[in-house]
Amino acid sequence: MPLPPDPRRALGRRGEDIALAHLVALGATLVDRNHRTRSGEIDLIVHLGPTLVFVEVKTRRVRGRGGRPAVGPPPEVPLLGLHDAQRRRLRRLAVAWLAEQSPRPRADELRFDAIGVLLDEQDRLVRLDHLEGAL
């Protein structure tokens, strides 16, 4: 019997889809998505002009009135969930990803961005925050 889908994973995937659409609207081209290693995962890697951008996406859902109190940062500010340890991990993952690529993607510069996606209870976009050079 298969396991039921993880609702947190579905929420994260929806946020990544929205973040990717935002980046494509800015002119980005997808290079890789959900690249996994033993150490973690890089959500999105895109080329944006001459820049190779590693993107961490944080997705949260607005709580309804009857919602239980949250633990951690308020959902209205998804990027508050981006901690120093995650920033260091993403930099290590990017170095490992670059070492694995043959041929390596050409880029004049590298950048680490963070995108916060806030969804309502029907998975509709409420807010998107894009911090360039966030890491």
The answer, yes or no, to whether residue 4 has pLDDT greater than 70, is: no
Please, are residues 93 and 42 in contact by the beta-carbon 8 Å criterion? yes
Mean pLDDT of the chain: 84
Task: Taking residues 4-17, report their average pLDDT.
Answer: 80
Selected from 3.40.1350.10, 2.40.30.10, 3.30.420.40, 3.30.360.10, the CATH number assigned to the domain covering 7-131 reads 3.40.1350.10
Q: What is the pTM of this model?
A: 0.83
Q: What is the predicted pLDDT for the residue at 85?
A: 83
Q: What is the predicted pLDDT for the residue at 111?
A: 95
Q: Where are the domains of the chain?
A: 7-131
Please, are residues 79 and 64 in contact by the beta-carbon 8 Å criterion? no
What is the tens place of the pLDDT at every residue in 87-122?
A: 888 899 999 999 988 887 889 999 999 999 999 888
